A and B are shown apart, each in its own frame.
Chain A
Amino acid sequence: MSPQDAPVIAAEMRTAAKLRIVDCDVHHALRSTADLHPYLPRRWREHFDSFGLRAPVPFAGSSPYPKAAPALSRTDAWPPNGGPPGSDLGFLREQLLDRYGIEIGLLHLLAPSGMDQRNQDFGNALCAAINDWQYECWTQRERRLKAAIVVPGEDADAAVAEIERWAGNGDFVQVSMITHTIEPLGRRRYWPIYEAAQRHNLPVGLHTSGFNGHAVTGTGWCSYYVEEQHHVAISQQQLAMSLVMEGVFERFPALKVVIVEAGLAWVPSLAWRLDRHWARMKDEVPHLTRKPSEYLRRHLWYTTQPADEPERPEDLRRIFDWMGWDRVLFATDYPHWDMDSPEQAFRMRLSDDERRMLYSDNARAVYGLA
């Protein structure tokens, strides 16, 4: 890598402007939990204040694996007017939307999460409040931002009710659940949610997040954040497997799922491995009418961040070839520390057509955006 200079940046910015970028992973944040007070019934506001958030985790105010940076964020993303990164719409506009010419940004709220609350009624109330807040404070104030209907997926009835409350509102372009769920997301307890999402033609966006009490790997708890940060992506591979093997896409053939923030270079080898072992054991899953790889290829999309950085940059081209260029959705993950810049996420050369697919057209097709 050689040092880059200002003229290069200017050229990249001109290219970006032409791209009409869709950023498939933008993180807004609460300034404080008080932001949700107007949207919570008094009973749950008091509960929130006195009991706080209670997911199956040990710490009151930290992830089980303390992160690499404060608030998981770029250290230059703290708004000058205060509040945590992602909490100031004006600064988010300046640092992300305007800076990179992003035409549409898809919001994923990571915290607080209603779905992993041990008190399910509180979790349901929290999800509803979050959606109200997203609508009033974000998408109505900034038309470039589109929200996800946050649902309490462990309580499928409540999740479906929340989908019904927002479906048809153009500010919400997908349904989102945490990924560290009590059961793998292909299991039937979640199917009513897929039914509702399919019925309303809403993709389901699955951003790595949440807590379920399970160890972070199939072989227990690792020691370090440097491991756990990788495992959250690895767990998305198993989530994809579950959706495929349980027959979710046989039952809901129009369902679209977007895997968010897991990178994507793992997709081809996972597809090869699943096809091989499915071929030997397919008696176990007679409900599947196709090879596993075909479901991965037809029903799932994958966001790029954190961008895979092969030692030989062009190896990423092989990965895209193998998985299908139409599967790839660009995402920044702004303002988190492992975000990708729209200008320099990929070290391989992309043609204009390829760039347009990755940064814009693929996402518009999945989400039905103009």
Chain B
Amino acid sequence: MNGAGGIDCDVHPALPGLSALLPFLDDYWREQVTVRGIGGLDLLCFPHRLPAFGRPDWREGDAKPGASLERMRRDLLDGFGLQLAICNPLYGVEALHNPHFAAALARAMNDWIAAQWLDRETRLRAAITIASQDTEYAVEEIERRAGDRRFVQVLLLAMNAAPLGQRRYWPIYAAAERHGLAVAIHAGGTARHAVTSNGWPSTLIEEYASNAQAVQAHLLSFVHEGVFVKFPRLRLVCAETGFTWLPNFLWRANKTWRGVRAEVPWVDRPPAEIIRAHVRFTLQPADPPPEAADFADALAQLGSDELLLFSTDYPHWQFDGADPFPEGFPANLRGRVAVDNPRATYARLMEEVA
């Protein structure tokens, strides 16, 4: 199968600009935005004119790829015959330094996506945008939105202010677990820290690739802070950050834990076991080996068939043609990845939505 009937766990509707949020901001923030001429809050790490972030046949002139619901229907939902798609809107909310403004924008983003996307297309689901800068605001927003069952997860950016397993973020995870929401960490940067611990790399290629290393930091953090001990029903989704790096990461994580585990005695089993039980990874970009015949071996090293969630990463250009599964992806895993794994990850996808 090529994804038909599948559940796409990572698609990106684009906010045309901050002006599109004005109707969803209160009077004060609407005036602030206007009077101060605030704008340009798209994330620097996803330049929309770059071919990588808009597949050529999904573009419409100079418009931001992913800005049109019509095109998303045609290219994605109808094009691949999808059952459902989960929207992860990427915008600079978490990168703002003013927590009150960030919280106002998070509210507006969620209202915008509900009104402009979910209300108009029943096959769409969405992530809740939060201002993780301030945990109280973040929880408030989750509570405000949790009743709308079309929101299936909480969204966080990968290059963030701190490793996201740290205790300051736990109220967010408590709220997510309480409401049956997954937590997604998605590629993207807030520029709170240098992209690498060796400083700022010159190229976007390095920065984009480094999202994998950032997610590895979050995985170590979630495991060693004990997030899953505290919130055993929590599901974490790593979106658009690859997965072929996972096996060697798990080996090393297990090895280090065996020697140093007394530092974190609440981690009472190998990190690989914890990660396989709680964490899922979206399919694209798959970053497979160059020889398609090797892909099955690379996947077998993951040690579980339950880890991958089907995704196109629409409208980003991760693959050509009509098959989102990379060449060599085993046929017998496709159905599981396209439907079963997403359903097992997102409890809310099993619900009838009015």
List chain A positions with a Cβ less than 8 A from chain B.
68, 179-187, 212, 214-227, 229-231, 233-235, 237-239, 241-242, 245-246, 263, 265-266, 268-270, 272-278, 280-281, 284-285, 293, 306, 308-312, 315, 318-319, 322, 337-338
Contact = CB atoms under 8 A, between A and B. Distances in A.
B289 A230 contact: no
B163 A238 contact: no
B206 A219 contact: no
Contacts of B202: 184, 186-187, 242, 245-246
A274 B194 CA distance: 19
B208 A227 contact: no
A241 B197 contact: no
Contact of A270 (B196, B245, B247, B317): B245
Given A219-B162, A223-B225, A272 B198 contact: no
A180 B247 contact: no
Contacts of B290: 272, 275, 293
A219 B194 CA distance: 8
Interface in B254-273: 254-257, 259-261, 263-264, 272
A181 B287 contact: no
A263 B245 CA distance: 13
A266 B249 contact: yes
B129 to A, nearest CB: 18
22 contacts: A181-B198, A183-B200, A218-B159, A218-B210, A219-B192, A222-B221, A223-B224, A230-B252, A233-B252, A239-B198, A246-B203, A269-B242, A269-B245, A269-B248, A272-B244, A272-B289, A276-B285, A278-B205, A281-B208, A284-B203, A285-B205, A318-B294
B199 interface: yes
B172 interface: no
Nearest to B51: A280
A280 B52 contact: yes
Contacts, number: 236
Given A219-B162, A225-B260, 12 more contacts: A215-B193, A217-B197, A218-B194, A222-B163, A223-B221, A226-B261, A265-B251, A269-B242, A273-B245, A281-B52, A281-B205, A319-B248
Top 6 closest pairs, chain A to chain B, by CB: A265-B248, A217-B217, A238-B196, A280-B52, A220-B162, A273-B287
Contact of B251 (A274, A276, A309, A338): A309
A265 B255 CA distance: 13
A238 B210 contact: yes
B172 to A, nearest CB: 15
B147 to A, nearest CB: 31
- Contact size range, B: 35 or more
B114 to A, nearest CB: 29
A308 B248 contact: yes
B331 interface: no
A318 B317 CA distance: 29
Interface in B205-235: 205-206, 208-210, 212-214, 216-218, 220-221, 224-225
B244 A269 contact: yes
Contact of B199 (A181, A227, A274): A181
Contacts of A218: 159, 189, 193-197, 210, 213-214, 217
Contacts of A220: 160-163, 192-193, 217
Given A227-B220, A274-B205, A281-B205, A215 B259 contact: no
Given A238-B206, A266-B249, A284-B205, A221 B214 contact: no
A183 B199 CA distance: 5
A139 B224 CA distance: 42
Contacts of B51: 280-281
B220 A222 contact: yes
A235 B201 CA distance: 12
A263 B248 CA distance: 10
B52 A226 contact: no
Contacts of A310: 247, 251, 301
B217 A241 contact: no
Contacts of B209: 241, 270, 273-274, 277
B353 interface: no
A184 B287 contact: no
Given A272-B288, A281-B52, A308 B252 contact: yes
Contacts of B298: 269
A278 B205 CA distance: 6
A235 B245 contact: no
B204 interface: yes
B251 A318 contact: no
B65 to A, nearest CB: 13
Contacts of A268: 289
A310 B246 CA distance: 12
Interface string B280-295: 0000010111100010
A226 to B, nearest CB: 4
B32 interface: no
Contacts of A68: 259-260, 263
A215 B214 CA distance: 12
Nearest to A266: B248
B252 to A, nearest CB: 6
A306 B259 CA distance: 12
A184 B164 CA distance: 24
Given A184-B198, A235-B197, A276-B285, A219 B218 contact: yes
A265 B224 CA distance: 22
Nearest to A179: B198
A225 B263 contact: yes
Given A180-B197, A238-B206, A269-B245, A280 B213 contact: no
Given A223-B221, A318-B301, A322-B294, A266 B197 contact: no
B301 A242 contact: no
Interface string B132-160: 00000000000000000000000000111
Interface string B119-135: 00000000000000000
B269 to A, nearest CB: 13
Contacts of B317: 280
A277 B205 contact: yes
Given A214-B197, A226-B224, A227-B220, A338 B259 contact: yes
